[in-house]
Amino acid sequence: MSQIDLQPGFDFQQAGKEVLEIEREGLAELDQYINEDFAQACEKMFYCAGKVVVMGMGKSGHIGRKMAATFASTGTSSFFVHPGEAAHGDLGMVSPQDIVIALSNSGESNEILALIPVLKRLKVSLICMTSRPESSMARAADIHLCVKVPKEACPLGLAPTSSTTAALVMGDALAVALLKARGFTAEDFALSHPGGALGRKLLLRVNDIMHTGDEIPHVSKKASLRDALLEITRKNLGMTVICDDLMKIEGIFTDGDLRRVFDMGSDVRNMGIAEVMTPGGIRVRPNTLAVDALNLMQSRHITSVMVADGDQLLGVLHMHDLLRAGVV
């Protein structure tokens, strides 16, 4: 295409708003196709003993990849197979226990039509999503999901726009309906997203990141304040736990407590830690979610917390540990 000059006064905003209006109209039409066929497709996918295999060519393929990814992350085992590659060996990835969802706006995709006889021979359930109930794919399907829209947002009526949006939304409707039917939870979602922020917040527990063993700053109740300060400096967590030889918690002393001691004007050189420690102290259990420990620390305006089983000291958690773990 040759370079042309921009039309004087051309309104990009208006052009964009026209696209949104056309696609909104298309989605409004989609409501009528959430019908008995939709319910049957959901039920078949719910009871599927294998996987949901999604196929599509061109733009339908791009929508199909996203659809499969959404299914997989919301509790429906799914993957995408390119129809062209399927005809050259990848169809071996499909088993009789699977369900195939095939996308094509026209319903006449040659690459998919070539696969249908083999899928029928394998007795694989076939759900086709097209805009034409009379199309070859629709007639061959066990269940047909119509995604017809009045027109494309493309003024030429050629570039898939409204039609791909409708297919994408229909795929989301299937995924979310199945998610609700399964009672899929945020914790379930996190299990398939362990590397994401949600996964870290819903899966990471205090015992995954707490300091244990020799890393725990602790002194006995008989220690001097000077000994406690040396322990705080060595372990670099801004606090020390006061405990007995069996690691039973008796109190805690933090750098904030030290500032208060100085404000009192006491003779810190001859002071014992028992005189200035805070008895007891705030603690969490080791199986506490890291995000819950974070919320506790923020609400109490503290930077570290003891990890314990009752009075038995097991570890120490610092705000920096939560930062490094990506919880904050």
Annotated binding residues for Zn(2+), as ranges? 82
Name all contacts of 215-221 with Cβ < 8 Å and 24+ positions apart. 215/316, 216/241, 216/313, 216/315, 216/316, 217/241, 217/316, 218/242, 218/243, 218/247, 218/313, 219/273, 220/244, 220/245, 221/250, 221/251, 221/273, 221/274, 221/277
Interatomic CA distance for residues 230 and 240, integer angstroms: 10
CA distances from residue 180 to 98, 175, 236 in whole angstroms, order as listed = 21, 9, 47
CA 61 to the chain's CA centroid:
23
For residue 38, give every residue at least 6 positions away whose Cβ sits within 8 Å of its Cβ, in sequence order, or none.
145, 173, 174, 177
Interatomic CA distance for residues 101 and 295, integer angstroms: 44
- Three state DSSP letters for 200-262: HHHHCEHHHHCECHHHCCEECCCCEHHHHHHHHHHHCCCEEEEECCCCEEEEEEEHHHHHHHH
Binding residues: 82
The 3-state DSSP class for residue 49 equals coil
What count of other Cβ atoms lies within 10 Å of the Cβ of residue 275?
11
Under 8 Å between Cβ of 316 and 304: yes
Interatomic CA distance for residues 254 and 261, integer angstroms: 11
Under 8 Å between Cβ of 119 and 102: no
Interatomic CA distance for residues 125 and 133, integer angstroms: 18
